[in-house]
């Protein structure tokens, strides 16, 4: 794959072959003999690029770049990839702590906003950032080149461009440098990611670096990687690495607070999402309880729910006895199946320990003290189906009038035929269900909104769902740089129908009618 070009303050090692058994000597030479405490190793493999971030002379975390996707990993993953491809060229790039922070944020977190400059005005985004007044990291991608901008209190305070952007640094202000860099990129569009989460904790296995293990990092991390191949690595409760003081004059407190030694394990690598399944009946749900206390309802609308203690799971259970990826519920064929993912403490269905088992309505899954109840909602059949002739096939559609009357509890069609009463609800981006009542519902980034959405292009009051006298629900776009879309089409007003997908700044909600 083409070699990515990340910004750096200097290049110490440029794409050289370094045998794996020589890496520890190279690491010691750079961090101790040359006294270069901060930077990152970059190793280009045939199908991916591995990164090892170094902070204060110690490994802090690892990253992986495959195509345009990036992810943050345990340090052992870097060494495991190194062992698989020992002839891959290795580079070391010097970076100050602000740049390291920016790069790790890009690998570790998901952007609050992502756009291309051919669709959104970069100057308007900078105005929105300043109005919000928060810290942010801006990642800019143009082809194989990456750039980083650090924003403190809503304003750009530091730019890190690849060599091709050197001319932009001649501009008098940081904001002007960024705009000139973006607008001077070659044709083809520039992708800009804005990250509002600006703290990055070290990888969980960074604690393995001690005075005793320095000088044999390769041996230590390869041994851990081999162990993890057959069993999940237990939670390490060793002394955490301490991040030293930041030497940069500007934004010292911002960077120091962002590089925290707190242990927060990252999500697993994100695989391409499979196509959404087609359900013949109501979409199943999973209800989560702790004892008898309900904690949430999760829809199976996307075909899969992962369960575990990692933040990347759909159903997050923060309990040390729950494995990072504990179990998964999948829609397979015409039914759901729960699978244990090799967890340490097991997964139980109706009191029996399982490895894999089909689920029926009402089955109870037990993960330590948490209960997950699998339910298929009782839902009326489509209120009225009309069949129209089509060449070579039949096309069915739902009569909107019948749906409206059913929601209002009024008779539809013949006077003696009373449609069943259906209750409208929203399936939110986190897959929880929200019932719609007679009151208006506002969607946006403001604290007063009933449905809170994130992102720089989301207005405080972005859209509103308004019930009318006929029992229908109208979605109205109110404002914001991002449009409001229904089933992929941009709207200003739209009468919602069963199954409509609402999208605002890549956050999706589903409108449903249920009994």
pLDDT of residue 321: 80
Asked whether residue 429 falls in the same domain as residue 348, the answer is no
Asked whether residue 233 falls in the same domain as residue 192, the answer is no
Residue ending a domain, among 343, 375, 407, is 375
Asked whether residue 4 falls in the same domain as residue 139, the answer is no
What is the arithmetic mean of pLDDT over 128-148? 90
pLDDT of residue 186: 78
**Distance between terminal CA atoms of the chain?**
52
Q: Which of 166-170, 233-237, 326-330 has the lowest mean pLDDT?
A: 233-237
Expressed as residue numbers, the domain containing 429 is: 420-514
Asked whether residue 304 falls in the same domain as residue 214, the answer is no
Asked whether residue 208 falls in the same domain as residue 351, the answer is no
Asked if residue 181 lies in contact with residue 164, where contact means CB atoms within 8 angstroms, the answer is: no
Q: Which of 12-26, 104-118, 139-153 has the lowest mean pLDDT?
A: 104-118
What is the arithmetic mean of pLDDT over 432-442? 86
Is 99 domain-assigned? yes
Is 387 domain-assigned? no
pLDDT of residue 379: 54
User: What is the average pLDDT score of the chain?
Assistant: 81
Asked whether residue 95 falls in the same domain as residue 206, the answer is yes
Whether residue 140 has pLDDT greater than 90? yes
Whether residue 148 has pLDDT greater than 50? yes
d(CA 400, CA 500): 12
Asked whether residue 104 falls in the same domain as residue 10, the answer is yes
pLDDT of residue 340: 93
Show Cβ contacts of residue 170 under 8 Å, excluding neighbours closer than 6 positions: 177
In this structure, what token pair is assigned to residue 293? 């206390």
Is 428 domain-assigned? yes
pLDDT of residue 243: 43
Asked whether residue 1 falls in the same domain as residue 98, the answer is yes
d(CA 55, CA 38): 5
pLDDT of residue 241: 44
Is 213 domain-assigned? yes
How many independent structural domains does the chain possess? 4
Whether residue 13 has pLDDT greater than 50? yes
Integer CA distances (angstroms), 50 to 3, 57, 66, 191, 244, in order:
11, 19, 9, 22, 25
Give the closest residue to 474 by CA, choosing from 445, 511, 444.
511
pLDDT in tens, 280-300: 778 888 988 887 778 888 888
d(CA 355, CA 347): 7
Q: pLDDT-based confidence at 387, cuts 50/70/90?
A: very low
Q: Which of 187-196, 199-208, 262-271 has the lowest mean pLDDT?
A: 262-271
Residue ending a domain, among 162, 181, 196, is 196
Q: pLDDT-based confidence at 333, cuts 50/70/90?
A: confident
pLDDT in tens, 335-358: 899 999 988 888 999 888 999 999
Assign 3-class secondary structure to 213-229: CCCCHHHHHHHHHHHHH
Which CATH number do you get for residue 361? 2.60.200.20
Is 333 domain-assigned? yes
Whether residue 156 has pLDDT greater than 50? yes
Angle of the 217-230 helix axis to the 75-84 helix axis, nearest 10: 90
Concatenate the DSSP letters of all residues of 128-190 into one string: HHHHHT--EEEEEEETTEEEEEEEETTEEEEEE--GGGGGGGGSSSHHHHHHHHHHTSPSS--
Asked whether residue 74 falls in the same domain as residue 180, the answer is no
Asked whether residue 206 falls in the same domain as residue 90, the answer is yes
pLDDT of residue 1: 55
DSSP state of 112: S
Asked whether residue 14 falls in the same domain as residue 134, the answer is no
Comparison of pLDDT for 457 and 48, the residue scoring more: 48
Is 226 domain-assigned? yes
- Phi and psi at 238, nearest 5°, equal -90, 170
pLDDT in tens, 92-102: 999 999 999 99
Residue ending a domain, among 339, 360, 375, is 375
Asked whether residue 103 falls in the same domain as residue 142, the answer is no
């Amino acid at each position: 794959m083409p070699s990515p070009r990340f910004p750096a303050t200097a290049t110490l090692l440029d794409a050289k072959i370094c045998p794996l058994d020589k890496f520890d000597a190279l690491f010691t030479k750079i961090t101790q003999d040359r006294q270069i405490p901060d930077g990152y190793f970059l190793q280009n493999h045939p199908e991916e690029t591995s990164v090892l971030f170094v902070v204060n002379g110690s490994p802090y975390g690892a990253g992986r770049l495959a195509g345009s996707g990036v992810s943050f990993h345990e340090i052992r993953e870097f060494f495991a990839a190194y062992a698989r491809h020992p002839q891959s060229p290795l580079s070391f790039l010097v970076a100050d702590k602000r740049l390291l922070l920016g790069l790790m944020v890009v690998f570790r977190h998901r952007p609050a906003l992502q756009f291309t400059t051919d669709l959104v005005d970069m100057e308007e985004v900078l105005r929105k950032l300043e109005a919000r007044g928060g810290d942010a990291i801006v990642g800019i991608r143009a082809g194989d080149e990456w750039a980083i901008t650090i924003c403190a209190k809503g304003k750009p305070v530091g730019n890190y461009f690849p060599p091709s952007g050197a001319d932009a640094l001649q501009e008098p202000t940081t904001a002007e440098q960024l705009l000139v860099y973006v607008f001077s990129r070659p044709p083809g569009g520039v992708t800009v990611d804005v990250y509002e989460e600006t703290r990055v904790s070290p990888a969980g296995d960074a604690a393995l670096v001690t005075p005793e293990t320095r000088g044999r990092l390769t041996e230590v991390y390869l041994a851990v990687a081999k162990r993890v191949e057959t069993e999940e690595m237990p939670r390490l409760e060793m002394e955490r690495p301490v991040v030293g003081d930041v030497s940069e004059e500007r934004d010292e407190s911002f960077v120091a607070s962002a590089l925290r030694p707190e242990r927060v394990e990252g999500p697993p690598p994100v695989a391409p999402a499979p196509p959404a399944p087609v359900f013949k009946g109501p979409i199943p749900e999973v209800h989560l309880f702790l004892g008898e206390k309900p904690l949430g309802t999760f829809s199976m609308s996307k075909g899969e729910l992962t369960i575990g203690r990692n933040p990347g799971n759909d159903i997050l259970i923060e309990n040390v006895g729950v494995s990072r990826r504990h179990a998964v519920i999948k829609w397979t064929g015409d039914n759901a199946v729960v699978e244990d993912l090799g967890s340490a403490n097991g997964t139980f269905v109706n009191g029996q320990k399982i490895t894999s088992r089909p689920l029926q309505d009402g089955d109870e899954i037990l993960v330590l003290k948490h209960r997950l109840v699998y339910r298929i909602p009782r839902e009326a059949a489509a209120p009225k189906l009309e069949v129209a002739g089509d060449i070579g096939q039949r096309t069915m559609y739902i009569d909107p009038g019948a749906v409206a009357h059913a929601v209002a509890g009024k008779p539809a069609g013949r006077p003696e035929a009373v449609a069943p009463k259906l209750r409208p609800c929203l399936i939110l981006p986190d897959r929880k269900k929200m019932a719609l009542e007679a009151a208006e519902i506002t969607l946006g980034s403001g604290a007063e909104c009933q449905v809170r959405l994130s992102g720089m292009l989301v207005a405080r009051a972005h859209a509103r769902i308004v019930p009318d006298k006929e029992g229908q629900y109208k979605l109205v776009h109110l404002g914001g740089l991002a449009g409001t879309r229904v089933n992929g089409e941009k709207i200003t007003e739209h009468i919602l129908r069963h199954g409509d997908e609402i999208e605002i700044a890549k956050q999706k909600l589903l409108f449903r009618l249920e009994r």
